[in-house]
Structure 1
Amino acid sequence: MKKLLLAFGLLTCTAGAIQLKAQDTAAIYWKLDSIAVIDQKVMMPMRDGIRLATDIYRPKGNGKYPIVFSRTPYNFNTWVDGKMTTRTLEEAYQAVSRGYAFVVQNERGRFFSEGEWDILGTPITDGYDALEWMSKQSWSNGKVGVIGCSSTAEWQMAVASQGHPALAAMVAQGFGAGVGRVGKFMEQGNWYRGGAQQMLFTSWLYSTQHDKMAPKLPVGIQQKDLVRLQKFYDMGPEYPRVDWAQGLRTLPVKDIIKKAQGPEGIYEDMIARKPNDPAWFKGGLYHDNMPLEVPAYWFVSWYDVSSAPNIALFNHVRNAAKNKSVADNQYLVIAPVLHCSYKRATENTIVGQRSVGDARLNYDELTWGWFNMLLKGEQNDFKAKQPRVRYYTMGSNKWQQAESFPLANTEMKSFYLSSAGKANTRNGDGSLAMMPPAKDIPDVFTYDPMNPVTSYGGNVCCTGNAVQGGSFDQSEMELRNDILVYTSEELKEGVEVTGFIESTLYVSSTGLDTDVTIKLIDVHPDGKAYNLDETIQRLRYREGYDKEVFMEKGKVYKVDLTPMVTSNYFAPGHKIRIEVSSSNFPRFDRNMNTGGNNYDEATGVVVQNKIHHSKQYPSVIKLPMIKK
């Protein structure tokens, strides 16, 4: 999802910037106008008669061209406040100047498109119908490639599963909210992680869902009227600004948007869904029982919301594709940036507070080389030059390549949680050992839902000013008594950790239900502790997401957390650290510990949680070490 200007604390434009932008817009418009047929607000018909607003830019002349298609819930209107905006025009120019038609379309129910909106642009038949319409146009060569990041990518997988013959290539970036269930992951489009709600959707839907009472244009309005209207009326509502650092603290969570006086839409329905609710399997999400037989270029970020499920999907398609050519045409790039921030990498890329070096990559060269090969049939050097997997290793700060992910030369090394029962805070006695302790002396902490551990950095997006994503020094946070800290000895030799990180904890509680969180940390010689990845597990779902099994007071339970993932070089003198707690808020919603619905509760229960570690209860983290 994109951060929206409506969110509190985000960037605003100055008058000078607007003036400069207007000058740039005029230049790009006339460049585009000189080479393109511009056909805006074409109302593309769907099978049920609903029409979707579509802008088409194609090379002048009578040729037949491959199509680059962008489908989005966001406003792509080229006119705002009587002035043209640049983004859509720039994208169109990049495509048309390379011999492509560029088509951008709003999802059903968004802005000038007719119908009622639901997340991911359902029904997915709209995507199929759009491919059918485009491939039949006189200016089309019959091949379509889809491109986008975040919500312009997340719909691609489910539509691709329908198997339209015109869909010849995908470029999906930051696409995790389109993944429902894949392998060990059942996030239902990033709504959940380990059964806990990811609160990004609360703030995102506030600024995205259209109010049911919003005014609409007349059904059947003509294109000429839409072209005229778009210059002064772009259907983009302005919602009251919200301080999400406070707004996400509202209880119960089902009332957050209501109390912010936001739009009435689908949020209240979605917040009540459990992880295995049938509704997740009827919308626009892709699940791993659906076919996906399309060549795809996948772009992932280490500090995005769902790096691990995204990489798992890449692996799934490679292994499950029935067409060997499709399996061979799956490529992956993993960059050390935030959500959809690939092109923001610089000579000194800062992600949060941590410098990860020169992480630049020529994404235009990669994208157009991919499309030229698959949409134009060019015999180019894409496959000769591009590795199957290109990933960035932080710490050593370099791009690397492999034929698969995880890497073939991976050795899983176990680090066992250990202490004398006083692992609370970084000043405690928690350690990571090569063998589990002989005797179980558990670490105990109090989890109070009214005083949760605050999210500080992390793999997140779209929460306005509530959480800033990225890598931040956690050392001050680690002085909280409700954070257990386990640290390795100082490393004498550097080690590269690249791949999926597996975690098993043994937990007991005084509550019917609670959460357990874990965070992987790189501790520098100066004591700064930078987060790499994090995850959570709601314990009522420890036995699977198709049932809720509550806890018995004092009973010890084995909890396997969803895998984390990273690529990081721990240099000599550094330490490996694990943080364990029961909250990471507002990245994830608070468990109220009652065993109730959680989403409709305003009062929580304070619980005592224990992490057990011994030969009987071997709490462990398994790190993928790369053998050199």
Structure 2
Amino acid sequence: MSPRLAAIIAVTALPLIAAGQPGYTPGKVTPDMVQTGSDIPKDWQQPQEAFDYVKKDVMIPMRDGVKLHTVIMIPKGAHNLPMLLERTPYNASGFAPNNSPHMKDAVWSGDTDWADGRYILVWQDVRGKYGSEGDYVMTRPPRGPLNPSKTDDTTDAWDTIDWLVKNVKQSNGRVGMIGSSYDGWTVTMALLDPHPALKVTAPESPMVDGWMGDDWFHNGAFRLGNLDFFVSQSSVKGGGEGIPREGYDDYENFLEAGSAGAMAQANGLEQLPWYNRVVAHPAYDAFWQLQAVDKMVAAKPSNVPTMWLQGMWDQEDIYGAVHAWEALKKAGYASNNHLVIGPWWHSQINREGWNLGPLKWSGDTARKFRKNWIIPFFDQYLIDGAPAKPLPQAMLYDPQADKWDQFADWKIAGNQTLTPIYLQADMGLGFGQAAAGSDSYVSDPARPIPYLARPIPADNESRWRTWLVQDQRFVANRADVLSYQTPVLTKSVTIEGAPIANIFARTTGTDGDFVVKLIDVYPQTYPEDPKMGGYQLPVSLDIFRGRYRKSYSDPSPIPAGKVQQYKFRLPTVNYTFKPGHRIMVQIQSSLFPVYDRNPQTYVQNIFFAKPDDYRKATVSIEHGGAAASAVLLPVVDKSGAGD
């Protein structure tokens, strides 16, 4: 029998069981078969006998009547426990994403070590986001000229803590606050007028000054990825999408779009109030000055013990922790404020810290630091009988030594002895000043220098996290990148502090950017890890927009063809250049598409530069003589300790 004939016989042999056909006899309908109402119960209660915690969603009222959505996770049988509070625009419910009966498995990685039955964990949506009522304002300014209302994130933190200590009966009435990035900003805001029950805090990579160096700008150069953030964060109450892309390579996407403003307008960002406020204030005017939280906490210091944390290669908020700490130390509040800089990318302190890109450590630096330092630091102020955990004034990781260094007195920028390492002839670099001369390159806005090897996909989180340790050989041979390097070092050079770029340059344009990178060049042969042979590791780098060379608030055109000084601070480091390595300084005029392109023609507002404004410019970097370009290094003598 053929397969086709067998199939026909099988089909025709099927019984006729459809309703209304011969042979169909329905059974008796009983009441339980009848569908009425919804299959979703009004109040579903998941049995939680096996759970070792109780999770509550509450709406906490603020002083103006607005209620903020708050998630509280309480260990079962809790009594007299402290509370750990994090306030966030990133969905409080997402901090306990797993439906596990065990508290340690229910929370996200940053809170796993806290979920050991000794803490009540609290997460709250800031007003206007996710489950909270009210209007959302991006990094809402403190009450005052920019915020005429009677509430801000300082009062919201105060009111939240006040409610928690009065209503969470399992608590001991003491609260600690922690959070990274935007959440670090909410911690810093709480410190402007801390509730008496707030006993200890840890702002991690906090945003403190969006123009000077946290998130939105760096020394006036705009970070293009913020366009995605503006849309995702402020287009909807919950989590939104970023800007759609035509192509795979973001270098090409942003280049074809033109200016940052053109990209934004093509994607409807003029509908967003925050975007409109940002582009209306490209210079460091009162809009930004009145939101500089590092200056505010120094003007109104608190007595709350605080650990300020960030990563040495923090690709987003490398400015906030160290500048807030420095401002507080200058104000005389170093005794209760501590600085920590670890070998991490942005917020890696809350994840695994075995490595950063190709750099490998002798253990999980992040988890070890959480367990050995952060949690004991909180315990001593929040838990009765907890042992004291004395902290040094500063703790900074030395990546080459692969260890933490502790400092009883970490010097702030401006109070350090700086040693110039000079640019010299024939692309040399050294501690002795050379004869006068210059080196030139053509900076072409149509061919900006990428920050990563192309292609650069829009969704490149793993590469974005580690771009600050990208091997710089991928641009070293470009004609528009100048690379100066020392001879092979015969002894260690250790720097502790913030290097200062001090560049003298001429340009044929009337505006321009300067990117300065301090680089550790590995030996060509590196037996410890052969893949690192010849690696050009950025140690500290930043960008400076030339129009602000005289004033951040009052930009001016660069006089074409005349030598100008560009002096700006690079990120703080604790680093040892080993014998056998070289020190390199690279200079270039773009870092795209992290930062928007400078048209190199002075225009009133670079956000809205026209295609014809983007022009080539010849940039000449001076060295020696009266215009001795250098990077000023905070070198310390460790000869007594050996190399």
- Tell me the TM-score normalized by structure 1: 0.79
1:126 to 2:156 alignment: yes
Offset at residue 74 of structure 1 (A): 0.7
The CA distance in 2 between the partners of 1:287 and 1:272, in whole Å, is 23
Q: Taking structure 1 as reference, are residues 46 and 356 closer, same or farther at Cα in structure 2, changes over 3 Å only?
A: same
Match of 2:527 in 1: none
Match of 2:522 in 1: 524
1:443 to 2:429 alignment: no
Match of 2:280 in 1: 272
Offset at residue 373 of structure 1 (A): 0.9
Match of 1:218 in 2: none
1:623 to 2:633 alignment: yes
Match of 2:409 in 1: 404
| Alignment map for 1:88-103 (pairs within 5 Å) | 88=107, 95=114, 97-103=116-122
- Answer 1 or 2: higher relative contact order, Cα 8 Å, separation at least 6: 1
Match of 2:87 in 1: 71
Q: Taking structure 1 as reference, are residues 32 and 119 closer, same or farther at Cα in structure 2, changes over 3 Å only?
A: farther
The superposition leaves residues 71-96 of structure 1 with CA deviations (integer Å, 9 ceiling, x where unpaired) of 11112326999978965477777656
Return the letter of the residue paired with 2:137.
D
Offset at residue 506 of structure 1 (A): 0.8
**Larger deviation: 75-84 or 338-347?**
75-84
The CA distance in 1 between the partners of 2:96 and 2:53, in whole Å, is 22
Q: Taking structure 1 as reference, are residues 284 and 436 closer, same or farther at Cα in structure 2, changes over 3 Å only?
A: closer
Offset at residue 362 of structure 1 (A): 3.8
The superposition leaves residues 198-237 of structure 1 with CA deviations (integer Å, 9 ceiling, x where unpaired) of 33422322322234xx7xxxxxxxxxxxxxxxxxxxx544
The CA distance in 1 between the partners of 2:50 and 2:177, in whole Å, is 23
Offset at residue 32 of structure 1 (A): 9.9
| Alignment map for 1:133-532 (pairs within 5 Å) | 133-137=163-167, 139=169, 140-175=171-206, 177-179=207-209, 187=212, 189-211=214-236, 235-237=238-240, 242=245, 244-249=250-255, 250-260=257-267, 264-265=271-272, 266-281=274-289, 285-288=293-296, 290-293=299-302, 294-304=304-314, 305-321=316-332, 327-342=334-349, 344-345=351-352, 349=355, 351-358=356-363, 360=365, 361-383=368-390, 386-406=391-411, 412-419=418-425, 429-439=426-436, 441-456=437-452, 464=460, 467=464, 468-526=466-524, 527-532=534-539
Report if aligned partners of 1:542, 1:559 keep a CA contact under 8 Å in 2. Answer: yes
Report if aligned partners of 2:450, 2:593 keep a CA contact under 8 Å in 1. Answer: yes
Offset at residue 356 of structure 1 (A): 4.9
Return the letter of the residue paired with 2:279.
I
Match of 2:56 in 1: 39
The superposition leaves residues 113-158 of structure 1 with CA deviations (integer Å, 9 ceiling, x where unpaired) of 1122222356323223223322333524332211112222122212
Offset at residue 577 of structure 1 (A): 0.3
Offset at residue 302 of structure 1 (A): 0.9
Report if aligned partners of 1:78, 1:84 keep a CA contact under 8 Å in 2. Answer: no
Return the letter of the residue paired with 1:57.
M
Return the letter of the residue paired with 1:280.
W
1:594 to 2:601 alignment: yes
Unpaired runs of 5+ residues, structure 1, are 1-28, 181-185, 215-234, 420-428
The CA distance in 2 between the partners of 1:614 and 1:357, in whole Å, is 42
Return the letter of the residue paired with 2:235.
H
The CA distance in 1 between the partners of 2:445 and 2:293, in whole Å, is 31
Q: Secondary structure at the match of 1:153?
A: helix
The CA distance in 1 between the partners of 2:483 and 2:617, in whole Å, is 19
Report if aligned partners of 1:336, 1:359 keep a CA contact under 8 Å in 2. Answer: no
Report if aligned partners of 2:294, 2:327 keep a CA contact under 8 Å in 1. Answer: no
Return the letter of the residue paired with 1:535.
D
Q: Secondary structure at the match of 1:104?
A: strand
Q: Taking structure 1 as reference, are residues 114 and 399 closer, same or farther at Cα in structure 2, changes over 3 Å only?
A: same
The CA distance in 2 between the partners of 1:43 and 1:462, in whole Å, is 37
Report if aligned partners of 2:294, 2:323 keep a CA contact under 8 Å in 1. Answer: no
Match of 2:36 in 1: none
**Larger deviation: 134-143 or 43-52?**
134-143
Report if aligned partners of 1:506, 1:556 keep a CA contact under 8 Å in 2. Answer: yes
The CA distance in 2 between the partners of 1:619 and 1:273, in whole Å, is 31
Return the letter of the residue paired with 2:59.
M
Report if aligned partners of 2:498, 2:570 keep a CA contact under 8 Å in 1. Answer: yes
Report if aligned partners of 1:502, 1:623 keep a CA contact under 8 Å in 2. Answer: yes
**Larger deviation: 290-299 or 91-100?**
91-100
Report if aligned partners of 2:520, 2:584 keep a CA contact under 8 Å in 1. Answer: yes
Return the letter of the residue paired with 2:607.
Y
The CA distance in 1 between the partners of 2:487 and 2:548, in whole Å, is 34
The CA distance in 2 between the partners of 1:210 and 1:364, in whole Å, is 38
Offset at residue 474 of structure 1 (A): 1.1
Return the letter of the residue paired with 2:596.
D
Q: Taking structure 1 as reference, are residues 554 and 276 closer, same or farther at Cα in structure 2, changes over 3 Å only?
A: same
- Report the count of equivalent residues: 551
**Larger deviation: 390-399 or 293-302?**
390-399
1:107 to 2:126 alignment: yes
Offset at residue 104 of structure 1 (A): 0.7
Pair member with larger Rg: 2
Q: Secondary structure at the match of 1:105?
A: strand
Report if aligned partners of 1:514, 1:538 keep a CA contact under 8 Å in 2. Answer: yes
Q: Taking structure 1 as reference, are residues 238 and 530 closer, same or farther at Cα in structure 2, changes over 3 Å only?
A: closer
The superposition leaves residues 275-327 of structure 1 with CA deviations (integer Å, 9 ceiling, x where unpaired) of 423333555844345323121112211110343552232232233256xxxx4
Q: Taking structure 1 as reference, are residues 532 and 162 closer, same or farther at Cα in structure 2, changes over 3 Å only?
A: same
Offset at residue 606 of structure 1 (A): 1.5
Q: Taking structure 1 as reference, are residues 357 and 543 closer, same or farther at Cα in structure 2, changes over 3 Å only?
A: farther
Offset at residue 342 of structure 1 (A): 2.5
Return the letter of the residue paired with 2:70.
T
Offset at residue 64 of structure 1 (A): 4.4
Q: Taking structure 1 as reference, are residues 92 and 487 closer, same or farther at Cα in structure 2, changes over 3 Å only?
A: closer
Match of 2:528 in 1: none
1:572 to 2:603 alignment: no
Report if aligned partners of 1:352, 1:470 keep a CA contact under 8 Å in 2. Answer: no
The superposition leaves residues 525-565 of structure 1 with CA deviations (integer Å, 9 ceiling, x where unpaired) of 11321111211111111112121122211111111112332
Q: Secondary structure at the match of 2:161?
A: helix
The superposition leaves residues 401-435 of structure 1 with CA deviations (integer Å, 9 ceiling, x where unpaired) of 2113249997532211112xxxxxxxxx2111333
The superposition leaves residues 147-173 of structure 1 with CA deviations (integer Å, 9 ceiling, x where unpaired) of 112222122212211233222211121
The CA distance in 2 between the partners of 1:376 and 1:510, in whole Å, is 63
- Tell me the TM-score normalized by structure 2: 0.77
Return the letter of the residue paired with 2:560.
K
1:534 to 2:528 alignment: no
The CA distance in 2 between the partners of 1:193 and 1:47, in whole Å, is 36
Q: Taking structure 1 as reference, are residues 356 and 31 closer, same or farther at Cα in structure 2, changes over 3 Å only?
A: farther
Offset at residue 59 of structure 1 (A): 4.4
Q: Taking structure 1 as reference, are residues 78 and 157 closer, same or farther at Cα in structure 2, changes over 3 Å only?
A: closer
Structure with the larger strand share: 1
Report if aligned partners of 1:356, 1:395 keep a CA contact under 8 Å in 2. Answer: no
Match of 1:609 in 2: 619
Q: Secondary structure at the match of 2:326?
A: helix
Q: Taking structure 1 as reference, are residues 594 and 150 closer, same or farther at Cα in structure 2, changes over 3 Å only?
A: same
Q: Taking structure 1 as reference, are residues 166 and 247 closer, same or farther at Cα in structure 2, changes over 3 Å only?
A: farther
